[in-house]
Structure 1
């Protein structure tokens, strides 16, 4: 992480073969608490970081985990024995987070180390079929689509959104701090923009509506791909796909609509399944039937009923939460 007032830079680095020593992690935790409490100034912290590469690695790891560390209570700044003891306990808790993270993250690594528990414990979540609007601390806007999990980590030197799963739309506010979106597959840097990010188990997709973004995948943080307005990119944790023209109606979900233009039925059913609890699948016998239409996302069962009536289909319910779309029986 850069010094206060500087810009965040992603640089290539040699692979890290061993974890950061525990004593270095402990020192990083100590400096973090002292800086937050006002007991140490930024110059002293910077001098410690500059003293060795291990120190800088530890500090970078701490900043990557900033959203999990929690705020340091203001009372800890009181120069009393009790406050000093509380600061030591706070540093010990931060050290535990750093050690649990492994301490072996390279400086150039991009991407969010996420799993099911991070999504379940995320500070911002939506259920299947739910959408949510969030006004960010800097005045920017965060729109969350169905079944999404997000953490927001703003600090003095950067703004960071951690998308664990699902889909979001970001409209950034004017602010000198870098704006970054982490997914399990890489990191996106906004360049004064409006853009959407969708993340699933196989990869993440970025769609740019205004201005531009830069994208890095986890395995190649030194390889940067710039996207301009009207472009879209799919990437995994191991590589970046080709830049494509963004399909029409990518943001229709913001209006509670899904627009299909000559889609295979399987694709439509897969999209509808995101907005409904349980399992919804398409039978292989009708998977390639072309479908065109505009569908409301607030009542998926009604959409399925209409789809069946107009396309000669039927929905078979094994249970309330397990259904299959297939050809209508004759």
Structure 2
């Protein structure tokens, strides 16, 4: 069953844009910071909206100050449709050669996707062909079916596909690193900073089927596919399929990597101090309660959890 929808409404996105303008261009003050924290805590969707919109601050930092100011203030002042807001912001990023629309959760392709999830949300779907699909946190896909083909496009994030082996139509999967096909395979795809992680649990997958030398990926294989199209087999410190069962399962993973992984499921900022980043973590943790996971770390490792706010958390030496 799908998890409850936690996608921020238009009003929360508008408010987040207002705060982005204020925090970027107004004079800093304790009162402004207090008002911002009060807004964050006033509704459960506000931190989700802020997490998405605030990433624009990083993108806008590389643009001329007057250009970013005018564009953000236009978004703040014009109460047009959500799509118009996003078009304006995407055009700004494109003008700065930042490619924002291709990466951001608020980019138009992701916003208009057939299915998508917010940070911390996981969703189960069933295709019209009987295939089972799961979306991980902050992910988006499109699905298309025709008489001769089934097609899934990964727009962002991570997806698992358990394709129906009784359907004879090939299943094509389009990703940013290239296409792949399967007939009755069970596979997992995750975008990462290097390109794409591909894991096959059942059947096989043909990577780059139209190329001169397609690669057949067999059951049990896990590949890192680079943005250039090259690939290599990898061994992971975590079970890539764990999230499909609602868990984060790791073995001897450095704490810094573990916290970075956990941060994918938690709205706000989650950091790990360098002096404890090398400590190792092993175990299986329930993703439904990231706060409990943080507390469990304090019982097994010499660390403490510092909450500056509910959405600004640091892990430091005890």
Is this a same-fold pair by TM over 0.5?
yes
What CA distance in whole angstroms lies between the structure 2 residues aligned with 1:311 and 1:302? 14
Find out whether 1:124 has 2:112 as its counterpart.
Answer: no
Structure 2 CA distance for partners of 1:195 and 1:237, relative to 1, 3 Å = same
Find out whether 1:142 has 2:133 as its counterpart.
Answer: yes
Structure 2: which 5+ runs fail to align? 1-100
Aligned residues of 1:185 and 1:204 also touching (Cα < 8 A): yes
Structure 1: which 5+ runs fail to align? 1-112
Give the Å deviation of 1:163. 0.9
What CA distance in whole angstroms lies between the structure 2 residues aligned with 1:247 and 1:191? 29
Q: Which residue, 123, 142, 146 being the options, matches 1:151? A: 142
Aligned residues of 2:168 and 2:183 also touching (Cα < 8 A): no
What CA distance in whole angstroms lies between the structure 1 residues aligned with 2:179 and 2:102? 13
Aligned residues of 2:188 and 2:200 also touching (Cα < 8 A): yes
Give the match's secondary structure for 1:164: strand
Give the Å deviation of 1:115. 4.3
Give the Å deviation of 1:248. 6.9
Structure 2 CA distance for partners of 1:200 and 1:127, relative to 1, 3 Å = same
Give the match's secondary structure for 2:207: strand
**2:260 counterpart residue number:** 270
**1:256 counterpart residue number:** 246
**2:206 counterpart residue number:** 214
What CA distance in whole angstroms lies between the structure 1 residues aligned with 2:234 and 2:213? 18
What is the TM-score when the length of structure 2 is the normalising length? 0.62
Give the greater-gyration-radius structure (CA): 1
Give the match's secondary structure for 1:152: strand
What CA distance in whole angstroms lies between the structure 2 residues aligned with 1:266 and 1:290? 9
Give the Å deviation of 1:121. 2.2
Alignment of 1:273-284 (within 5 A): 273-284=263-274
Give the match's secondary structure for 1:133: strand
Corresponding pairs, count:
214
**1:229 counterpart residue number:** 219
Give the Å deviation of 1:191. 3.7
**1:92 counterpart residue number:** none
What CA distance in whole angstroms lies between the structure 1 residues aligned with 2:298 and 2:118? 26
Q: Which residue, 301, 308, 311 being the options, matches 1:311? A: 301
Give the Å deviation of 1:175. 2.1
What CA distance in whole angstroms lies between the structure 2 residues aligned with 1:122 and 1:164? 8
Structure 2 CA distance for partners of 1:261 and 1:247, relative to 1, 3 Å = closer
What CA distance in whole angstroms lies between the structure 1 residues aligned with 2:121 and 2:135? 8
After the TM superposition, which of the residue ranges 250-259 and 240-249 deviates more from structure 2?
240-249
What CA distance in whole angstroms lies between the structure 1 residues aligned with 2:148 and 2:239? 35
Give the Å deviation of 1:271. 1.2
Structure 1 residues 3-31: Cα deviation after superposition (integer angstroms, max 9, x where no partner): xxxxxxxxxxxxxxxxxxxxxxxxxxxxx
- Give the aligned CA root-mean-square deviation in angstroms: 2.2
What is the TM-score when the length of structure 1 is the normalising length? 0.60
**1:188 counterpart residue number:** 180
Structure 2 CA distance for partners of 1:222 and 1:277, relative to 1, 3 Å = farther
Give the Å deviation of 1:114. 4.4
**2:291 counterpart residue number:** 301
